[in-house]
Amino acid sequence: MAHQWYAYYLRSVGRFDEALAENERARELDPLSEIKTLGVAAGYARKHDDARYSSLIRRAMELNPSDSAPHYALTDLLQKEGHTSEAALEFRTALQLDGDAPLVTLFDETLRKSDLPRAKRAVTETVIERLTTKSKTTYVSPRAFVEQYLRIKDNENALHWLDLAFAEHSSFLVQITTDPLYDGLRTDSRFHAMLRRMRFPGAD
């Protein structure tokens, strides 16, 4: 566990090679851990080593066949590589593993009428609607909203919820300078202003 958390720190300060080495060490000590395997996979994703990333994602699926997370990750990789049919299958499998029949139906119906990006967007928009409804009666982490809005490239709302996360001192913010999910915000001056407010090294 110590290697895993140290890797988290190293990644947050941009020391990616050292972070990957720590994650590799953590996995060596616990090779049957899906979480540690995904940790190593994330390191290779940041290095844009898609072959190694894909291999580790598939290994994570073997270690925990009931977890949807690796299937969502593989969806994005397959889509980027142009393997649309396989990506759609992985996304549908992820929804099924989540046990969300209404979203599976929505995905299938939208995909029949349109294409994969629109079908994924329809699912994400529905998830956001659910989160909004839930937030009226109970606490929902800003992170949940941020990540969903980033997936549909809605930077306005993503930045709004990042501001709320900043006000809450949310711990996930230490990763936003290095997480590929935030790449779409890197050219936005408001994002850089937020990094300066958080006093990230090199944000000035």
Task: Provide the Cα torsion 60, 65, 70, 72; round to 10°.
Answer: 170
Q: pLDDT grade, residue 203 (50/70/90)?
A: low
How much of the chain exceeds pLDDT 90, in percent?
Answer: 72
Segment 130-144 shows an average pLDDT of: 97
Per-residue pLDDT, 61 = 97
Taking alpha carbons only, the member of 151, 149, 145 closest to residue 132 is: 145
Q: pLDDT grade, residue 32 (50/70/90)?
A: very high
| pLDDT at position 1 over 70 | no
Per-residue pLDDT, 5 = 72
Q: Out of 17-21, 121-125, 155-159, pick the least confident.
A: 17-21
Per-residue pLDDT, 161 = 97
Per-residue pLDDT, 188 = 93
| Residues in contact with 13: Cβ distance below 8 Å, sequence separation at least 6, in sequence order | 201
Per-residue pLDDT, 15 = 82
The average confidence (pLDDT) of the chain is 92
CATH topology of domain 1-64: 1.25.40
Segment 168-181 shows an average pLDDT of: 88
Q: Is the dihedral of CA 7, 8, 9, 13 positive or negative?
A: positive
Per-residue pLDDT, 19 = 86
Per-residue pLDDT, 121 = 97
Taking alpha carbons only, the member of 82, 173, 68, 163 closest to residue 123 is: 68
Q: Is the dihedral of CA 56, 61, 67, 71 positive or negative?
A: positive
d(CA 183, CA 187): 8
Per-residue pLDDT, 128 = 98
d(CA 174, CA 73): 21
pTM (two decimals): 0.86
Domain ranges of the chain: 1-64
pLDDT tens by residue, 64-119? 999 999 999 999 999 999 999 999 999 999 999 999 999 999 999 999 999 999 99
